[in-house]
């Protein structure tokens, strides 16, 4: 009996190796240009984390996320870490949702933004739900080592709801925002004084039944702006601005699928656009889909996209809510949620990415490889 159990045990190990090793080998086919793949932390004083953000300061990289018992729980706080001498510092709790001695709300969706020649700003939300949250911020004058008191944003101004602001051609700062109360609608907020004050720009026209949120802003060579949006309509949608974000075109559907999960993009120094997202079309007519794989696509014009990399493709749990920047050395840094348990940090050399055509919205195969099928219910969508 004992010998049989030992044989079964070793058979399971061999089977696991047979399954896992080819999967890892195949994933490498899609990771040309990936030069760093690491967890920001291994252990944390809370079971779940989500919605990470990253910024480059004059003293190096700073990252943040929310962590607590579970999303929406009142104990969820904002945590910040810095990359020092190649290692991430122990994260510090910089914001909580305590209102008074008897009332506490969750913190949500931090967004870091380094104002050129000025402070580092940490935006975040506090409230019982996205429909009822309010926008707050703190500033750091020493690259994230210490933080100011908490300031509230003016009524009607939420700050960036997930993705970073951008500096447009006339020097204004444009923040991608939106509301989830009484509908899911995107809007943009504009600052002409380095983030000290904000006003809402013209609304984006949405078609009936369209529910878009969490835009990310790309800047094109002719000065036009393109905002790509997460939606509840099974596709990434876009809107364009020709006047530095003051007015926007009606929303239109792109060729890229969306699983009602966050996306983020960045305009590279060479003028190309880079997008991080889950290239997943939900099954049937469902709005939500599994948040895996996590993909990288590249475009020259924001219209035709090419498959560039896969950062994660395991069918286990989720890989979601990416935040992406390009640092002064030309490298691309991505942080994202890893199974709601940790935050992953990936560094990409965009010059080494190999591009492949995406036909009819289908991620291309490479040497017979395609992402694994996810079975069962997708968790925490």
* pLDDT exceeds 50 at position 2: no
- Confidence at residue 102, expressed as pLDDT on a 0 to 100 scale: 97
Residue 138 to residue 124: CA distance in whole angstroms: 9
- DSSP class per residue in 167-214: E-TTS-EEEEEEE-SSS-EEEEEEESSTTSS-EE-PPPP--TT--EEE
* pLDDT exceeds 90 at position 4: no
Per-residue confidence band for 89, with pLDDT thresholds at 50, 70 and 90? very high
pTM confidence score: 0.91
* pLDDT exceeds 60 at position 379: no
- Confidence at residue 203, expressed as pLDDT on a 0 to 100 scale: 79
Q: Which residue has the tokens 């509908």?
A: 183
* pLDDT exceeds 60 at position 9: no
- Confidence at residue 377, expressed as pLDDT on a 0 to 100 scale: 38
- DSSP class per residue in 49-109: EEEEEEEEETTEEEEEEEEESSTT-TT-EEEEEEEETTEEPPPEEEE--B-SSS-B-EEEE
Q: Is the peptide bond before 50 cis (omega within 30 degrees of 0)?
A: no
In this structure, are residues 24 and 82 in contact, taking their beta carbons and an 8 Å threshold?
no
Mean pLDDT, residues 338-352: 98
* pLDDT exceeds 90 at position 131: yes
- Confidence at residue 181, expressed as pLDDT on a 0 to 100 scale: 86
Is pLDDT larger for residue 206 or for residue 204? 204
- Confidence at residue 15, expressed as pLDDT on a 0 to 100 scale: 36
Q: Mean pLDDT, the chain, as a whole number?
A: 91
Residue 39 to residue 173: CA distance in whole angstroms: 31
Residue 74 to residue 66: CA distance in whole angstroms: 12
Is pLDDT larger for residue 12 or for residue 247? 247
Mean pLDDT, residues 119-146: 98
Mean pLDDT, residues 331-342: 98
* 42-63 pLDDT per residue, tens: 999 999 999 999 999 999 999 9
Q: For the chain, what percent of residues have pLDDT higher than 70?
A: 90
- Confidence at residue 20, expressed as pLDDT on a 0 to 100 scale: 42
Q: Which of 205-209, 230-234, 257-261, 300-304 has the lowest mean pLDDT?
A: 205-209
Per-residue confidence band for 117, with pLDDT thresholds at 50, 70 and 90? very high
* pLDDT exceeds 80 at position 16: no
Mean pLDDT, residues 51-80: 98
Sequence ranges of the domains in the chain: 31-357
Mean pLDDT, residues 268-288: 96
- Confidence at residue 25, expressed as pLDDT on a 0 to 100 scale: 57
The highest-level CATH class for domain 31-357 is mainly beta
Is pLDDT larger for residue 207 or for residue 342? 342
Mean pLDDT, residues 179-204: 91
* pLDDT exceeds 60 at position 307: yes
Mean pLDDT, residues 238-256: 96
Per-residue confidence band for 28, with pLDDT thresholds at 50, 70 and 90? confident
Per-residue confidence band for 183, with pLDDT thresholds at 50, 70 and 90? confident
């Amino acid at each position: 009996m004992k010998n049989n159990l030992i044989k079964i045990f070793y058979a399971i190990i061999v089977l696991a190796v047979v399954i896992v090793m080819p999967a890892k080998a195949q994933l490498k086919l899609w990771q040309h240009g990936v030069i760093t793949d690491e967890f920001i932390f291994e252990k944390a004083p809370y079971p779940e984390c989500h919605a990470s953000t990253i910024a480059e300061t004059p003293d190096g990289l700073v990252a943040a996320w929310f962590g607590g018992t579970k999303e929406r729980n009142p104990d969820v706080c904002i945590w910040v870490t810095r990359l020092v001498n190649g290692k991430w510092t122990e994260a510090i709790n910089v914001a909580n949702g305590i209102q008074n001695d008897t009332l506490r709300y969750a913190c949500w969706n931090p967004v870091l933004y380094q104002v050129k020649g000025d402070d580092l700003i940490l935006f975040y939300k506090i409230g019982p739900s996205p429909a009822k949250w309010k926008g707050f911020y703190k500033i750091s004058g020493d690259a994230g080592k210490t933080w100011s008191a908490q300031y509230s944003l003016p009524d009607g101004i939420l700050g960036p709801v997930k993705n970073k602001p951008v500096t447009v051609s006339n020097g204004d700062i444009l923040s991608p925002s939106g509301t989830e109360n009484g509908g899911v609608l995107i809007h943009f907020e504009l600052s002409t004084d380095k983030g000290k004050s904000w006003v809402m720009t013209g609304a984006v026209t949405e078609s009936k039944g369209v529910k878009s949120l969490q835009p990310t802003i790309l800047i094109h060579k002719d000065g036009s702006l393109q905002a790509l949006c997460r939606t509840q309509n099974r596709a990434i949608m876009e809107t364009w601005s020709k006047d530095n974000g003051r007015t926007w075109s009606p929303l239109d559907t792109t060729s890229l699928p969306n699983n009602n999960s966050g996306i983020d993009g960045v305009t590279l120094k060479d003028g190309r656009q880079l997008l991080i997202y889950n290239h997943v079309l939900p099954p049937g007519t469902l709005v939500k889909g599994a948040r895996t794989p996590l993909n990288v696509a590249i475009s020259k014009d924001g219209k035709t996209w090419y498959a560039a990399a896969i950062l994660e493709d395991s069918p286990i749990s989720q890989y979601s809510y990416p935040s992406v920047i390009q640092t002064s050395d030309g490298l691309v840094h991505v942080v994202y949620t890893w199974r709601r348990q940790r935050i992953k940090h990936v560094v990409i050399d965009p010059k080494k990415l190999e591009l492949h055509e995406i036909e009819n919205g289908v991620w291309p195969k490479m040497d017979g490889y395609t992402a694994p099928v996810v079975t069962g219910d997708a968790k925490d969508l």
